[in-house]
């Protein structure tokens, strides 16, 4: 495979006419397909397939020495995974039927229409890519091994859901399909995008941009660039981010906020793999893989009409969902240790020790800001700590309030609050409700009475009395 080329495995063009062969290559290169092998002698095709991994074969039907139909039978028998596109001037139904029965992927008539050839090759590439990814997923989920564990060293976890995400990333990393990364704010969506780029082996840059709030004009200029004189103040041409990321990866964050006009342009970019700089009527090929991220539920945005249906399905060619930190409780001790080391280095202090109760406190918290919020807590706590033991006061203040009074957990934990009462079909008695709340608080606090009392908004002494009454 040739990293940084599109596709990674070459397209094999087989045609005995040199001018036609060259014209086919020019057409494909205009669409950003730049990994191409030309073959003018049909007798060399099988040896090329034996020596090289080929993505797609474009095969002329009428050639001297070995005909395209003979080669088609040999290729589909020995290399059944390689799509073969027949290209010929023979417009006979019987010949078409015979080729399709032998396993041809497509049949294109000469003179070739540019769009027809490009679309056929792109579809063949997509189907080949999907089959390859499905095979990788089956293999990796069966043996539970990562081929490139070093690519994930920046993500600290021992969570099974995250392990599945890693397997999926390895399976789709080499493809050109767009990928959608979803999850709450602060879960590490850009980190995963960076991992996909690293695993892909692409030689180009990793370019990330947040497109939230961009109007259509700014969006077009940011992604596609502009020509000189395209608008007032455009005194020189400027490359857009699509061109900057050529041969690499473009990561667009907050895709759920995109305007309808910008969605149309983005859809064309994904479907045609080309774009128009602002002020230009000449299309340029898009040679970057595009990744997207959002914390907003795209399925709801699609149902409400805020996201176009056709764009919605295009974005979901691959979908990676990152679990929130509250579903990765086993990762909190690891993350705490990691952020303590970072904070100690940042503030030039020794890494502090901490009470084990701190882990229980953090694991009982909802973390609406996820890993980013945990990091901010740790940095704040270490910045002000003195001595050997890290104080828990900073964490308690961030979670429960200013510490001058115990506040209701309903303000900190989204599961609590007044609205849940209206969802009950039958109201429990006050005693039953109190017993249930106390039991749930103790479960979340891992039977730590001080933390459970904070969650309930009462003193530890009051909680202790309630527990004793319940035991009687």
Pick out the chain residues at pLDDT < 70: 1-4, 139-143, 401-420, 471-472
Output the pLDDT for position 462. 80
Q: Report the alpha-carbon distance of residue 169 to residue 156 in Å, rounded.
A: 16
Output the pLDDT for position 412. 46
Output the pLDDT for position 226. 96
Tell me which of 405, 431, 457 is where a domain ends.
405
CA–centroid distance for 196 within its chain: 7
Indicate if 71 and 121 belong to the same structural domain: yes
The pLDDT tens digits of the residues spanning 92-111 come to 888 889 999 999 999 999 88
Q: Report the alpha-carbon distance of residue 456 to residue 440 in Å, rounded.
A: 10
In a domain, 382, yes or no: yes
In a domain, 138, yes or no: no
CB 83 within 8 A of CB 124: yes
Phi, psi of 411 (to 5 degrees): -80, -20
Indicate if 401 and 412 belong to the same structural domain: no
Indicate if 160 and 295 belong to the same structural domain: yes
The pLDDT tens digits of the residues spanning 299-344 come to 899 999 999 999 999 998 899 999 999 999 999 999 999 999 999 9
In a domain, 133, yes or no: no
SS3 call for 175 = coil
Indicate if 283 and 388 belong to the same structural domain: no
Instruction: State yes or no: cis peptide before 111, omega within 30 of 0.
Output: yes
Q: Which domain holds residue 364?
A: 325-405
Write out 271-320 in H/E/C secondary structure: HHCEECCECCCCCEECCCEEEEEECCCHHHHHHCCCCCHHHHHHHCCEEE
Indicate if 161 and 280 belong to the same structural domain: yes
The pLDDT tens digits of the residues spanning 204-262 come to 999 999 999 899 999 999 999 999 999 988 899 999 999 999 999 999 999 998 999 99
In a domain, 2, yes or no: no
Indicate if 314 and 338 belong to the same structural domain: no
Whether pTM exceeds 0.85? no
């Amino acid at each position: 495979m040739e990293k940084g080329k599109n596709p990674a495995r070459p397209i094999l063009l087989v045609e005995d006419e040199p001018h036609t062969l060259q014209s086919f290559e020019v057409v494909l290169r205009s669409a950003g397909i730049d990994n191409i092998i030309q073959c003018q002698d049909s007798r060399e095709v099988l040896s090329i397939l034996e020596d090289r991994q080929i993505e797609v074969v474009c095969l002329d039907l009428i050639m001297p020495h070995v005909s395209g139909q003979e080669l088609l039978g040999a290729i589909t028998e020995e290399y059944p995974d390689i799509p073969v596109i027949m290209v010929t001037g023979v417009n006979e139904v019987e010949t078409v039927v015979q080729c399709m029965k032998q396993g041809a992927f497509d049949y294109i008539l000469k003179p070739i229409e540019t769009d027809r050839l490009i679309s056929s090759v792109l579809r063949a590439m997509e189907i080949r890519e999907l089959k390859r990814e499905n095979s990788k997923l089956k293999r990796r989920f069966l043996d539970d091994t990562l081929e490139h564990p070093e690519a994930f060293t920046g993500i600290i976890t021992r969570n099974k859901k995250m392990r599945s995400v890693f397997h999926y990333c390895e399976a789709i990393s080499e493809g050109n399909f767009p990928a959608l990364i979803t999850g709450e704010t602060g879960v590490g969506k850009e980190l995963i995008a960076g991992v996909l780029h690293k695993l892909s082996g692409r030689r180009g840059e990793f370019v990330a941009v947040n497109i939230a709030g961009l109007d259509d004009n700014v969006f077009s200029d940011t992604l596609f660039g502009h020509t000189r004189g395209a608008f007032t103040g455009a005194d020189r041409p400027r490359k857009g981010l699509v061109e900057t990321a050529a041969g690499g990866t473009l990561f667009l964050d907050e895709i759920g906020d995109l305007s309808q006009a910008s969605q149309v342009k983005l859809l064309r970019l994904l479907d045609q793999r080309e774009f128009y700089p602002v002020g230009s009527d000449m299309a340029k090929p898009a040679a970057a893989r595009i990744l997207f991220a959002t914390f907003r539920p795209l399925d709801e945005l699609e149902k409400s009409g805020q996201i176009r249906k056709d764009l919605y399905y295009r974005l979901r060619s691959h979908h990676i969902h990152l679990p929130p930190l509250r579903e990765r409780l086993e990762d909190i001790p690891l993350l705490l240790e990691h952020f303590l080391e970072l904070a100690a280095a940042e503030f030039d202090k020794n890494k502090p020790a901490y009470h084990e109760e701190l882990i229980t406190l953090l694991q009982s918290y909802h973390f609406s800001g996820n890993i980013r919020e945990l990091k901010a807590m740790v940095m704040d706590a270490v910045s002000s700590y003195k001595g050997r033991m890290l104080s828990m006061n900073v964490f308690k203040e961030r979670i429960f309030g200013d510490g001058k009074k115990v506040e209701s957990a309903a303000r900190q934990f989204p599961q609590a609050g007044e609205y849940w009462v209206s969802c009950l079909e039958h109201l429990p008695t006050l005693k039953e409700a109190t017993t249930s709340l106390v039991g749930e608080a103790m479960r979340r606090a891992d039977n730590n009475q001080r933390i459970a009392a904070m969650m309930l908004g009462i003193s530890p002494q009051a909680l202790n009395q309630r527990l004793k009454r319940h035991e009687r």
